[in-house]
Amino acid sequence: MKNVVYKFGGAALKSADSIKNIEQIIAQFRPKLVVVSAMAKTTNAFENLVEAQLSGQNTEPYLDKIRRFHQEIISGLFEEEKNGAEDNLNKVLDYCKAYLKHSKNTSYDEIYDQIVPAGELISSKILGAYLQKKGHKLNWLDARKILKTDNRFRKATPDIVFSKAELVNQLNEASTNLIQGFIGGTENNLMTTIGREGSDYSAALFANFTDAEELVVWKDVDGVLNADPRYFNAPNLIPNMSYKEAIELSYYGATIIHPKTIQPLVEKNIPLRVRSFQNTENEGTTIDSTTEFDGSKAIYIYKPNQLLITLESEDLSFFGESKMSEIYHSLFEHKLEVNLVQNSAVNCSICIDNDPHKTSTLIEEFAKKFKVKYNENLELLTVRHYQAKLLEELLLNKDLIIEQKTRSTLKLLFK
């Protein structure tokens, strides 16, 4: 058993064949701890379930869709008609149904955190049952009891000291330890989440707690690419990267790495490797303290669905530190992060991800203090190590709204 942490995302858990592939990877490399996300698109499915409940729709079709998806995977893994994985699936979905029935007058964020983490619980139970079937000695760990957090739903902060002691205490050195990413629990046994796509952050914390030799995040790409293949053609692999560059990329919104993932690794100097579960022969990308990225290749980070809010003083008074402090405090309270900010003497423009459950109330709050204008459906492109000659090509047929440059980074907000 190697003292390494493996994290598998939803794309690695999308089918019975995918789970069989994960079992082979675990059998080959024998990691000490395995962290899993919900199965492909399941988090979205549970989010849709919550939306249906809050809008007064019948939730049964949404629960049935989730049930059928997982039952199909279970039937591809287990020959017997009744098995522990299916029993657990039914228990979890019965819980969701019962909770939603009695969730009236509960905030969206709290409902979200009591329902959406069900995806991780289901995926870890299905994978765990299959690992046992294949002869692995399994130690299934409950992240709700190990990763203790505050009650800031949808963006909870872990209690590092308690969580580390609890994980170390519950690890079994002779077993494959399996735990859920993304989720935690309060001292009152309510579920919490640590931010969308937070399983990587969970894995980094667990690697830190266990003094792991390495954290490996298994993706459906060969490693860290210089652009998202969903939006750019033929992106290139970056084989080595520094912690600093990885932090910069995650800060600007690169989806390959969660923004909080790197810091727990830096503290213990634990390398992060991003590898492909489809191509285990490929070494992928190594992120560590020894690499210096030379900046010879531009890196593109694209964020759609952006909202630009422009605030102006009612009396044209100066937009100084006091007003900016008010703005950032409101963003913090609404659990929103700024992707771009630009201000003048009497106004300030901020660009954020357009989350309707948060931005509508934020705009209402701003309107009590400022004149407010906003633009929706914008796109933000950040280019690290940009070259000036690329600017014209990037903006072809685009309506540029804001352009910001530093020595190494170019930000373009456009429609």
The CA-atom distances, in angstroms, between 412 and each of 68, 340, 377 are: 42, 9, 14
Higher pLDDT, 319 or 49: 49
Q: Please tell me the distance from the alpha carbon of residue 156 to that of residue 133, in angstroms, as a whole number.
A: 35
Q: Which residue has the tokens 């098995």?
A: 83
d(Cα 7, Cα 216) in Å, to the nearest integer? 6
| 51-86 pLDDT per residue, tens | 999 999 999 999 999 999 999 999 999 987 678 899
Chain region(s) in the chain for CATH 3.30.2130.10: 299-414
User: Residue 242: beta bridge partners?
Assistant: 288
CA distance 38 to 150: 22
In this structure, the number of other CB atoms found within 10 A of the CB of residue 111 comes to 19
- Alpha-carbon distance 301 to 82, whole Å? 46
> H/E element holding 184?
strand 183-185
Question: What are the pLDDT digits (tens) for 329-373?
Answer: 999 999 999 999 999 999 999 999 999 889 999 999 999 999 999
Topology adopted by domain 2-220 = Carbamate kinase (3.40.1160)
**Mean per-residue pLDDT of the chain:** 93
Of the candidates 290, 328, 322, the one whose C-alpha atom is nearest the C-alpha of residue 309 is 328
Measured between alpha carbons, how far is 271 from 153 in angstroms, rounded to an integer?
A: 30
pLDDT tens string 162-221: 999 999 999 999 999 999 999 999 999 999 999 887 999 999 999 999 999 999 999 999
DSSP code of residue 381: E
Vertex 192: Cα angle to 64 and 181 (nearest 5): 75
DSSP per position, 323-355:
HHHHHHHHHHHTT--EEEEEE-SSEEEEEEE--
Q: Which CATH number fits domain 299-414: 3.30.9.10, 3.30.1490.20, 3.30.2130.10, 3.40.50.300?
A: 3.30.2130.10
Residue intervals of the chain classified under CATH 3.40.1160.10 are 2-220
Question: How does residue 251 score in pLDDT terms, banded at 50, 70 and 90?
Answer: confident
Is 124 within 8 Å of 139 (Cβ atoms)? no
pTM: 0.90
| Alpha carbon distance 220, 200 (integer Å) | 14
Nearest to 40 by CA among 21, 64, 18: 18
Rounded distance between C-alpha atoms, residue 241 and residue 290, angstroms:
9
Element (H, E) at 306: strand 299-313
Q: How many C-beta atoms lie closer than 10 Å to residue 290's C-beta?
A: 10
Q: What is the DSSP letter of 12?
A: G
Answer whether residue 294 shows pLDDT above 70: no
